[in-house]
Amino acid sequence: MATGIKDKVAIIGMGCSKFGERWDMGAEELMVEAFEECIADAGIEKKDIGAAWLGTCFESINVGRSATPLSLTLRLPFIPVTRVENFCATGTEAFRGAVYAVASGAYDICLALGVEKLKDTGYGGLPSFVGSDSGTLTWQWFPNITAPGSFAQLASAYGAKYNVSDRDIKEAIAHVSAKSHANGVKNPKAHLRKAVTKEQIMASPIIAHPLGLFDCCGVSDGAACAIVTTPEIAKKLGKKDLVSVKALQLALSSGEEMGFNDWDGDHFMTTTKASKMAYKEAGITDPRTEISMMEVHDCFSITELVTMEDLHISERGKAWRDVLDGVYDIDGEVPCQVDGGLKCFGHPIGASGLRMIYEMYLQLHGRAGERQLENPAFGLTHNLGGFPAMNVCSISIVGKYE
């Protein structure tokens, strides 16, 4: 019988580049920047790594379709390297590959690295899906779709279902964005490091009603990575106060959302299901009191708000009130986006999932500097790739080794 991943794998090192418009660096230099921090933190040598996973999303404007850019750039010693891609869950997917490889006993020590180079590649924003592997899906299901437009519909559906006024929704999502900006100021690796008031956010130009300019995350370059092993090996390496993986879950849309009328467009079915599986795997029964901190997929501010309900922390229809009451502020019950989130740390797609785990790792080791929380025990990360009607959701929970 399957027993899950809880406490079978420990993280012994992590690294993250500075995120932003890194005009001076290519994807390879970003990989090196993250890896050098990671391997120094782990206290091992490259020869100790048994296998590696590379996560990148838009390969055609980035490093290409194979895994060789990671092995060549880092001069890995002729070991297996696998490239993975799963929309915005790509970084966590690389982490999942490395974790499962160690848990299976196939390898002692594995590396996961995610990278995305989105600036100075010929695109002002994200490239179109048309002409990519998902082009047929785009033409068949999502003609003329835009990311802001589809997530704006999520806000409208949420407001209609729970009778939340347009003003209340805009104020709540402005609070989400203002919180992330305030946290980003405290993070030297964040892309955007400037505080913005709720009034400024609500007065900003509309991108897709009710989402304004400050309700949308930016386009960033960056890389992040992790080195994992078993707790037993970690202890032999002299590691103390281990951070271990408590749960890793992945859920993909089945087509039910698009093909049937049961889904009313106000939530994410994948997150609702993946989070329940993750809590069961981690042994968590009350996430609102047991989860110490979260990094969730705030590609748009409304996404963070709705995710609070899909994670079973806020009651259905009540997340907007919890947001305004400060439940998810850095000094609230369940701090969220302590490092600035996608909104302000940035969103280089292949790196984002690992960047989120990086923040949990720093917090659990008491190394988060000015934004350090008091004695956190469990950290949850959440990625959402695709669109509300068709998406990929990954959940990871990490915590202190028991």
Identify the residue whose tokens are 């695709």: 386
User: What's the CA gap between 228 and 230, in Å, rounded?
Assistant: 7
Q: Tokens standing for 4?
A: 């899950």
Please state, in angstroms and rounded to a whole number, the distance separating the CA atoms of residues 20 and 222: 7
Which helix (H) or strand (E) segment is 36 a member of? helix 27-42
Largest CA distance in the chain: 59
H helix or E strand, kind and range, residue 226: strand 222-229
Taken in order 327, 330, 331, 333, is the CA torsion positive or negative?
A: positive
User: Measuring CA to CA, which residue among 393, 324, 328, 291 is closest to residue 180?
Assistant: 328
CA dist 190 and 339 (Å) reads 8
**CA-wise closest residue to 19 among 91, 111, 71, 96:** 91
Residue 54 φ/ψ, nearest 5 degrees: -115, 130
Cα–Cα distance measured from residue 312 to residue 185, given in angstroms and rounded to the nearest whole number? 29
Q: Which of 378, 383, 361, 220 is nearest to 298 (CA)?
A: 383
Structure tokens at 104: 């299976």
For 314-332, the DSSP string reads: SPTTTHHHHHHTTTTSTTS
3-state class of 92 per DSSP?
helix
Contact between residue 277 and residue 251 where contact means Cβ atoms under 8 Å apart: yes
Kind plus residue range of the DSSP H or E element containing 224: strand 222-229
Would you please indicate which residues are annotated as catalytic (active-site) residues?
88, 347
The helix (H) or strand (E) run that includes residue 391 is strand 390-400
Give me the phi and psi of 234, to 5 degrees please.
-60, -40
Q: How far is CA 391 from the centre of its chain?
A: 14
What b/e readout covers 198-220, taking b as 16+ CB neighbours within 10 angstroms? bebbbebeebbebbbebbbbbbb
